[in-house]
Structure 1
Amino acid sequence: MNPVASEKNGESESRLQMPDNVKKAIALLILVLILAVFTYRIIYLEEKLEEDTIKKDELGYVSDEIWYVCSSRNILYKIFHIEPWTPCGECYNIVFKVNNAPPKDVLEEISRKHNIAVLREVAETKDSSKYTIIYVKVMDKNSLERFIGEIEKKGYEIETYVRGWVYGKAFDIHKYLNLEHPPLVKYFIAFSILVGGDQPRQWRIPSMVSGVLILVLSYVITYLILRKRYGIYSYYLALLPPLFLTI
């Protein structure tokens, strides 16, 4: 091999090689762009999801959120005895005992008398058993208790009432704790609800944060593994996995 030619090739490669500080600057810039695009996507999709699910009468829940969010709410209420605030103010789920909900006309009469707004009714049937939940907005807890007291005087039994977002459509959802799955995710969701209120965009913060962390870690790992071998191309390879396109 000609040593002169080899030396020339080495010199040309060194001239073409990008300085480390430029590489790092490009890597950082690409990471910032990734995060900007990803943040825009999740904010846009979250707003669209909330709007679409409420329009479709899915009550703001998407897929398995009904199980994880409702169980997180139940953990706060049943285990820690905490009632998180909601954007609508004093809003409560009133759960009637099985097959024991009042007819609509009776409910309307009592709610008018106590100035209670019945926002929604959720009913789920399993075999011959029917659970009915009404979602109400009240002035304060005293007016809620007077409202419940009059309903019970008419012979209708209430199992429980829970402050928060309206429960999803599932039988026995007010009792569900999702014990068949590890608790960590539910605790993250419960903490997020506790801090920012019981509302769809707040439920999704833990998954948004974890998505961003996964994206950043995958980018950094790709860069650390490939930078010495492929140089600048490693930055672009980090953008290609399905993780970035579908997260």
Structure 2
Amino acid sequence: MNKQLLIFDFDGTLIDSVPDLADATNAMLTTLGKDTYPIETIRNWIGNGSRLLVERALVGKVEVADGELTVEEADHAEQIFFEAYQNLSGSKTVAYPDVDDGLKKLHAAGYTLALVTNKPIRFVPKILQSFGWQDLFSEVMGGDSLPVKKPDPTPLLHVCETLNISVEQAVMIGDSRNDMLAGQNANMDTLGLSYGYNYGQDIRELNPTEAFDHFADLVAWIMKDRA
């Protein structure tokens, strides 16, 4: 694992944003006159981007069948969700243990760090700045930065091309099926973290190159090649 480029997912990998996302989701539902849901229910709807989160909340389940919602209904609800999320202070979003120290160690060791998230890009800079991470990442991609998002490999390949680093020298690091599939679809090594948002599925079942239960263990494993 002597890599140069470390591409990280965001929600569920570096940060736990479920409390704020749940508040925004329930604010949207309240505005629309619909029933709200407990945070643990909403947690299972997160990880595939804002649009699917909104659609799942509107129908109250993970699987949204064709024809259950009109495009107009989903568009309207998503705009309400965006406004609610934008208006939150973000104080409930926290970094997972050892992430702050680990990112700084990797950056100081000379690795190039990038961020590829399915979260809309408009919300990413504020969160990065809140943790003081805005200067750690050489490239940041949101779920709407390109026409496609993870598990499509295009955002990962775009990062490699932009930074002029080969796929062979890159690794995708994340907590979910989308992250592992995006990396595998890009013919890139993958590192899985077990503590995030993966709908109860063990990340190891998705056959990452390696998997870890703690961020500090991942950092130590990567850094051993620079020791």
TM-score range (shorter-chain normalised) is under 0.3
Higher helix share: 1
Higher-Rg member (1/2): 1
User: Given the two structures, how large is their TM-score scaled by the length of structure 1?
Assistant: 0.23
